[in-house]
């Protein structure tokens, strides 16, 4: 199998959509996560050390993420689509 090279492009989320999205659990606002945080989370994915709220390993790299206002949970973005499911949220305790 060929190795995948990491050439990520910036996440493209419609600003109108971003303005109406909120955490499905607490209803807090969400905002785009910084690239440095996504890189750090992707390092944990590659080491097999990142779990979501369902306590399942995250196996695919993140294209981006939406971080909850309290900075405790990040919702992954894959192929420019925010995954706003409570169980898919990634706890950030001890990461940031």
Is pLDDT above 60 for 15? yes
In whole angstroms, what is the distance from residue 83 CA to residue 53 CA?
Answer: 13
5 pLDDT tier (thresholds 50, 70, 90): very low
> Mind listing the pLDDT tens digit for each residue in 44-88?
999 999 999 999 999 999 999 999 999 999 999 999 999 999 999
Q: Where are the domains of the chain?
A: 30-91
Instruction: Give which of 77, 86, 82 is closest to 27, Cα–Cα.
Output: 86
pTM of the model: 0.88
Element (H, E) at 90: strand 90-91
Is pLDDT above 50 for 36? yes
Is pLDDT above 80 for 92? yes
Is pLDDT above 50 for 3? no
DSSP code, position 86: G
């Amino acid at each position: 199998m060929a190795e995948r090279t990491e050439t990520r492009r910036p996440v493209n989320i419609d600003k109108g959509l971003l303005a109406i999205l909120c955490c499905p659990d607490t209803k807090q606002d969400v905002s785009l996560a910084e690239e440095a945080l996504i890189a750090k989370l992707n390092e944990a994915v590659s080491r097999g050390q990142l779990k979501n709220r369902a306590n399942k390993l995250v196996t695919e790299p993140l294209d981006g993420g939406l971080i909850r206002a309290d900075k405790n949970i990040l919702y992954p973005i894959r192929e420019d689509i925010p995954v706003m499911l409570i169980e898919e949220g990634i706890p950030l305790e001890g990461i940031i």
